[in-house]
Chains A and B, each alone.
Chain A
Amino acid sequence: MLKKLMRYDFKSVFKLWWIGALSTFVLSFIGGGFSTIFYTEKEIPVPVTIVAVFAIIMVYIAYMAFGVFSDILVYVRFYKNFYTDQGYLTFTLPAKRQSILNSKVFLGFVTTTSTSLVLFINLLIVTVIGAHKYIFSKESLEELKIIFEEFAAYEYNYFFIIFLVEALILFGLLTLTAMLFNYGCISVASVLVKKAKILAAVGIYYVATSILGFIFTIFYLFGLTSLVSVFSSISEVAVLGSIALLLLIVIFILCAACSVFYYVNYWCLHKKLNLA
């Protein structure tokens, strides 16, 4: 049943999402073309420069709009399916609650990751087209070669492979946590209030992020001192190992946070199941 649920969810979101993705992809070539003028040694007339700057700004605005658009698609689908009149139909489906929620979680994760990937490729296109003269110049390739050689010669280079793997896991977990957190805000608001649910969800989001932001600011201000002090007094390999362990700690924290947020969503769905 999960597969069927996912198929419908993906169809619903991706029938609009691909338009945004394709548009920004095409715009990237235009943005890249305009940005070449910033890397040329020729003198460019001022009106052309102004047009180019505006064009590039528009391209970046389109990127941001695409990011927001894909988020809206996911959260609107979540909200409509669960907490509006459609919810009556959703919960009459011959599927477990967990499957319904899992489908939405998977949809959110794939959409957000795909959006990030598309935006990354778009930025790469703009940069490569704009600065192709420098990127593919002999000097740049030589410098790249030197960096790789230095990296290969570095005694503890394997740590950077560990960091890379941890960073990728962190990226995935951050996406998942943020999404479950946002779902959680919508769910809690829908359970707590009867009118103006979206407004309540936004309010809960701001309150929760403010509290979390405060905690992390305090930690950032006071908590990192000992780390700097410790790192300045231990060996290089111990520093690298400690950083790897720290990243692992953050990974576990995010895993636990995901579980908690999932629990909150699940509990809210259970509450909301009584639709009478």
Chain B
Amino acid sequence: MKKFIYVIVTVLILSVCLGVTSFATSVPDEVEINQIPSATFSEDFRTMYFNDHEYYQKNLIFFDSYVATEYDVTDYYVDDFDDIMSTMDFAIPTNADYVLSDTQKELVYDISLYGTDILFTADISYNDGTMLSISYLRDDYIDEYDKFIAGGFADLEIDFEWPEGNVVKTTKQELLANEQLTLKDYDYWMDFDYYYIYAHSDDGVLTYNPGLMLKVNEKYYYFDFAENKSHNMDFFMEHVYSEDGQLKGILVHEITDEALLSGIEAAETAYYEDDFGYLYNDELAIKVSYFFLILLFGVVPAVIFIVALVFAIIKKGKYRKLLFTTAGFTLAEIITFIIFMIVVSAK
């Protein structure tokens, strides 16, 4: 009987081992599963070939991105790449592999390639220590991108970010048509809010941030990146936070259109109510909170006070003093709590 059990167990173990082995061999290698096609480049790196598509070098304007003016080692890069990635279709592949020609190998020793299936950025490290970042846009998006950027951004959204939906629609023409003035740094650096303004392409793939809406001393202004010869937030932040009195300030347009202003104010109020409502304006939350306050600082001490007082009266002997002390402290606490409630409700 014993031998029979040994045989059964051995067979079972062996069959499990065989099963695992055959399963393991049937699963393709990791490389095979995630095989990413390699990217290749034209000799001048202006075109990239990847996954049956051509990608063209493009001076992109996205979000806070820097606008490149020339194809140059020092002057071309896309800023804040994470932001760009966050808006793009994540059908990745990121960190795609690449293949270089022999001539390219003589010049370049490494390329870091990041991207989605529409946009790629290549950080090209040259043998002489210099580095070049190039953005590539997929061939079928080139025209769409140009149309989008050149289209005057018919619909801009002043975005109150969170929660989604608190946006105000406007146009760039409308914002720029308002009176232009210069805000010097001391006008606004102490106390201001700013909100992003976005334009999205119809399919939502392309996003552009042409400027900001500023709120200074309860007035609203439009700050246009291009008008200030800046193309990113860095310029704006430097001006806002610099303590250098020599700064010229920033060019803005005061928003005066009443319909637009009321829309902005409504969206802003909704934004604060949605985001901080629990703390500021939610009546139910405040009532619940008062309930707990009164329970902890009012009802519980009152119960302890009554119990201690009753026992102090009933009991005789050495406990009496102690019970009276407890009752005294709880009574003092209740009185202080009542004063506190009067102070906070007096407003």
Contacts and interface: CB of A to CB of B under 8 A. Distances in A.
Contacts, number: 91
B16 interface: no
A252 B282 CA distance: 31
**Chain A CB within 10 A, most for which of B282, B289, B343:** B289
B286 interface: yes
A227 interface: yes
Interface string A235-276: 000100110011011001101100110110011000000000
A228 B340 CA distance: 14
A234 interface: yes
Contact of A227 (B278, B293, B323, B347): B293
A98 interface: yes
Given A98-B318, A222-B292, A256 B344 contact: no
B306 to A, nearest CB: 13
A31 B234 CA distance: 43
Nearest to A234: B347
Contacts of B344: 227, 230, 234, 238, 242
Interface majority SS (helix, strand, loop, mixed), chain B: helix
Interface stretch (B88-96, B158-166, B327-335): B327-335
Interface majority SS (helix, strand, loop, mixed), chain A: helix
Interface residues of A, number: 33
A229 B326 CA distance: 32
B315 to A, nearest CB: 11
B280 interface: yes
- Category for how many chain B residues contact A: 35 or more
A259 B289 contact: no
Contact of A266 (B322, B332, B333, B346): B322
A219 B296 contact: yes
Interface of B: 278-280, 282, 285-290, 292-293, 296-297, 301, 304, 318-319, 322-323, 325-326, 329-330, 332-333, 336-337, 339-340, 343-347
What 10 A-B pairs are tightest by C-beta distance, nearest first? Answer: A252-B333, A226-B289, A223-B292, A225-B289, A256-B329, A259-B326, A255-B329, A245-B340, A230-B344, A226-B290
30 contacts: A218-B292, A219-B296, A223-B292, A225-B279, A225-B282, A225-B285, A225-B286, A225-B289, A226-B287, A226-B293, A227-B289, A227-B293, A227-B344, A230-B344, A233-B347, A234-B347, A241-B343, A242-B343, A242-B344, A245-B340, A249-B336, A252-B329, A252-B332, A253-B297, A256-B330, A259-B329, A260-B304, A260-B326, A263-B326, A266-B318
Interface of A: 98, 215, 218-219, 222-230, 232-234, 238, 241-242, 245-246, 248-249, 252-253, 255-256, 259-260, 262-263, 266-267
